[in-house]
Chain A
Amino acid sequence: MAPSDADVPVVAFVSVRHAYGTRVVLNDLNLSIARGEALALVGRSGTGKSTLLKLINRLLLPEAGTVLVDGRDTRQWDPIELRRRTGYVMQEVGLFPHLTVEDNVTLVPRLEGWADARRHTRALELLALVGLPPAEFAGRWPHELSGGQRQRVGVARALAVDPPVLLMDEPFGALDPMTRVELRDEFQRIRRHLKQTVVLVTHDVVEAFALGDRVGVLDDGRLIACETPDRLAHTTDPRVRQFLDALVPGVRVSTVDRLPSTVTD
C-alpha cells in the first residue's frame, strides 16, 4: 500500500442523506474512518445502522451527499470490485445451505479464480482462525452447525480474501448471551491478528464498547457522538448520556471504563 494511502480515510461519509420513501433514516451524516480502525456504531432499531453499512459496499447509493471508499465516490466504484474487497457479516449469517463449510468459506476466492490447492489451504487457515477445528468442520453442512458456529463460519467467509474493510451488521445479535460473549471475546482475539478496518453496528452498547476503538452513537439519523470508549463513557453531553443509560438496562455506563465481559455473563 502506498504511504499516501494512509492519510486518506478508508471510508468517509460527507453530508449523506438517505430515506426510504418519506422515512428519513440518515440525515446530514459526516463520518470518517481511518485505516485499521474498528468503529462500533450503536443506535436504536431503525436508526439507519444497517443502511449506513450498505452505503459502504454499494448495496445502496446515497440519496444526497457522498460516500467515499479509499477516497473514491462509491458511485464511481465498480460494485463487484468494491464488494469483493469488503467483507460483510450479518446477523442472519446467510450461509449457502447447498455448500459445505469449506465451500462457503472459499466462495469469494473461487469467484476470484484461486487454484483449488490455495483455496483449500486458505479454508483450513480461516477455520482455525475462527476457532473451528478444520478436520471436524470443513466438510460439514450449514444445517449441522449451532448458531455460534454458523456465525464463526460467516466471519471466516468474510475474511477469505483478506479484504481491507470488514462490515459487521449485528453479527452476534441472534445468539444467546453466553455464545455472544464468547464470540465477542473470540473476535477481539482475531482482531489482534488482522489489520482490517472494521465497521460494526449493534444495538448492544456493551458490545460496542468492547469491540470499538471508537464508538459512534446514531440517533434520529444523525451521528450525535463519535469518541473512544473512555471518553464516551465520561461524556457530559446530556443527550448521549441519556441514550447510553437507556440502552444498558441496569448498568450505568459511566461507572465502567472498558466494560468487562462479565456484565452480561
Chain B
Amino acid sequence: MRLLSFWASHSSELAAMVERHLFLVAVSTLVAIAIGLPAGIIAAHRPRVGRPLLAVASIAQTVPSLALLGFLLPIPFIGGIGPRIAVVALILYALLPIVRSTAAGLKSIDRAVIESGVAMGMTKGQLLWLVELPLALPSIVAGIRIATIVGIGTATIAAAIGAGGLGEYIFRGLSMVDSTVILAGAIPAAVLALIADGSLTWLERRLSPGRRGLARTTAIAIGAAAVISVTVLAGGFASARPDAIVIGSKNFTEQVLLGELLAQTLERRGIPVTRRLNLGGTFICDSAIRSGDIDAYVEYTGTAFTAILKQPVLKDPDAILSNLRDAYSRGGLSVLAPLGFNNTFAILVRRSDADALGLRTIGDLRALAGRWRPGFGYEFAERGDGYAGLSSAYGLQFAQPPRVMELNLVYRALATNQVDVIAGDATSGLVKALELAMLADDRGYFPPYHAVPIVRSAVLLRQPEIGDAFAQLTGRISEDDMRAMNAAVDVEHRDVAATVRDFLSRLR
C-alpha cells in the first residue's frame, strides 16, 4: 500500500524515469545491434577474426558494471557523467549476447542448405540475405532479447553516474534505507524486463522457419521497434536542453536536496535547469564541473580543501574560504558565499549508551575504544582528515579495524548494535530518528564543512542573474533547517522537490 501511494504521489517523476530508462536501453541496444550483427556475421564466416572478437566481447561482459563505469569516466568523448557514458557501458554489455547468438545462429544452419544455395548460383550477399540471416533470425532475436533484458537490469546502475532512470529510486531507497523506495524503482524495472522478454520471445517463435507470414511478422516487428525507438529517442533527446543550467549533486539525501534547492531557486527566476542529481561521490562531481558536464553543485569547504585540493587541514573557516577561492578561480570555478550550516563530521553513538556512560565528547571514548567497534563510510575510512587523523588526534585505539560500508548503512548498523560508534553527518535527519547522540569535537579536530555553491565562472559571467539568485540563499540555511529537510525526506519519505518547495516558500 505504501508503495502504491508512493507511485501515486510521484507519478510524473516515475513516468520520466521509465522514459529515461527505456531511452538508455533502446539507444544502447540499437547501437549494439548495429555493431554486433555485422561482428557476429564476421565471427561466423571467418573464425580466425571471430575468435578474438568474441574474446573481447566476453571480457567486456565480465567487468562489474560499477567498475566499468569507473573506467569509462575519464575517457575523452565517451567519458564524463550523464547518459552518454551509461549508454557506452550498456552497449559493451549488450554486444556479447548479440555477437554470440548471431554467430551461433549462422553456424547452426544445415550445411546442405548453404551448399544448395551456393550451387544454385547465389552470390555471397544473396546467400546472406535470402538464406543465412532469415534462418539465423530466431537465434539473433534471442540474443537481442537477452541483451535487452540485461540492459534493463544494468541500466539501473546508470543512476550512479547521473544518467537517470529507475535506478534513481533504487539508489535513493538505498540511501534512505527504505525498501519502499527501492521497490518503487526495482518493480517497474522488473516489469519492463518481463514485457521485453515476453514480446521478444513471441517474436522469436514467430520467426522460426516454416511459419506462415514470416515476412509480415518481420515487417510488423521492425515497424513496432521503429515506432518505439523513435518515440523513446525523441523523448530522450528532447529532455536535454542545451541552454539550460546543469545542476549536479553527490549521491546522498542532503546533496540531492541542495541540488534541488539550487535548481528551484533558478527556476523561480525563470532560468531553465537540467538536473543531474545523485551523481556519485565528491570526485565525480568535481571532475564533472571541471569538464563542464555540470554548471553548479554544492560543495563543503573542508572537503574541497582537503580532499580535492589535497591541502593539510585548516581550522579557520575564513582562511579556508579565501584559499579555496584562489585555487578554484584558477580552474575557472567560482566559490560563492556559504549557505549557512556546517555539515561537519559527527561522531555518533547510541543515545542510550551516551546517557548510561555519560559520554559527551569524543575524548570520552578513549576509555571505551578498546572494547568498541567502529563503523565508517568509505570516504571517512580513506581520507587523511578522516579516521586516521581522528584516531591520532584523540589517541583512540579501537578493538578492531573499522567496518567500512555505504555511508547510509552506517547509521542503521549503529542503531542495530552491529557497531558502537560511527562517523556520520552533523546534519543527518537520522540522528534524531534513530535516537543517536552526537559527541562534541572538543579538540577541534574536524575542519569546518560549510556548504558553498560552486559555479563555473563562465556561466556567472554570461548570466549574472544566476549569481544574484544564489546570493539570495547566502546564510539562510541553518543546521536545524538542513536536519529538518533531511529528516523530511529520509524519515518521513517526503518528496525531495516538495520539501525544497516548502522550504523556499517559507524563506521569503
A86 to B116 Cα, complex, angstroms: 12
**B322 lies within 8 A of chain A by Cβ:** no
A260 to B133 Cα, complex, angstroms: 46
A108 to B120 Cα, complex, angstroms: 7
- In the complex, which of the residues B113, B118, B119, B121 contacts A96, with contact meaning CB atoms closer than 8 Å? B113
A84 to B123 Cα, complex, angstroms: 11
Residues on B with beta carbons closer than 8 Å to the beta carbon of A92? 110, 112
Q: B343 → chain A, closest Cβ, in Å?
A: 65
Interface centre among B113, B116, B117, B118, by most chain A C-beta atoms within 10 angstroms, is B116
Residues on A with beta carbons closer than 8 Å to the beta carbon of B116? 88, 90, 93-96, 154
Question: Is B210 a contact partner of A94 (Cβ separation < 8 A)?
Answer: no
**A74 lies within 8 A of chain B by Cβ:** no
How many residue pairs bridge A and B at CB < 8 Å?
71
Question: Is A83 a contact partner of B113 (Cβ separation < 8 A)?
Answer: no
Interface centre among A93, A96, A144, by most chain B C-beta atoms within 10 angstroms, is A96
A93 to B116 Cα, complex, angstroms: 8
Interface 1/0s, chain A 59-92, versus B by CB < 8 A? 1000000000000000000011111101010101
A81 to B135 Cα, complex, angstroms: 25
Residues on A with beta carbons closer than 8 Å to the beta carbon of B121? 79-84, 86, 108, 111
Residues on B with beta carbons closer than 8 Å to the beta carbon of A94? 110, 112-117
Question: Is A98 a contact partner of B112 (Cβ separation < 8 A)?
Answer: no
Question: Is B119 a contact partner of A59 (Cβ separation < 8 A)?
Answer: yes
Per the 8 Å Cβ criterion, residues 98-150 of B in contact with A are 110, 112-123, 126, 130-131, 134-135
A95 to B119 Cα, complex, angstroms: 12
**B332 lies within 8 A of chain A by Cβ:** no
Question: Is B122 a contact partner of A141 (Cβ separation < 8 A)?
Answer: no
Interface centre among A82, A95, A98, A141, by most chain B C-beta atoms within 10 angstroms, is A98
- In the complex, which of the residues B113, B120, B131, B210 contacts A141, with contact meaning CB atoms closer than 8 Å? B210
**B188 lies within 8 A of chain A by Cβ:** no
- Please, which residue of chain A has its CB at the minimum distance from the CB of B114? A94
**A83 with B112, Cβ < 8 A, contacts A98-B214, A142-B210 known:** no
**A88 with B120, Cβ < 8 A, contacts A96-B131, A97-B210, A98-B134 known:** yes
Residues on A with beta carbons closer than 8 Å to the beta carbon of B209? 97-98, 141, 143
- Please, which residue of chain B has its CB at the minimum distance from the CB of A112? B121
- In the complex, which of the residues B118, B134, B210, B214 contacts A83, with contact meaning CB atoms closer than 8 Å? B118
Question: Is B119 a contact partner of A107 (Cβ separation < 8 A)?
Answer: no
Q: A95 → chain B, closest Cβ, in Å?
A: 7
- Please, which residue of chain B has its CB at the minimum distance from the CB of A91? B112
Residues on A with beta carbons closer than 8 Å to the beta carbon of B117? 94, 96
Residues on B with beta carbons closer than 8 Å to the beta carbon of A196? none
Q: Which B residues form the contact surface with A (CB < 8 A)? A: 110, 112-123, 126, 130-131, 134-135, 209-210, 214
Q: What would be 26 A-B contacts, judged by CB atoms less than 8 Å apart?
A: A59-B115, A59-B119, A80-B121, A80-B123, A81-B121, A83-B118, A84-B120, A84-B121, A86-B119, A88-B116, A90-B115, A93-B112, A93-B116, A94-B113, A94-B115, A94-B116, A96-B117, A97-B110, A97-B113, A98-B135, A107-B120, A108-B121, A141-B209, A141-B210, A144-B210, A158-B120
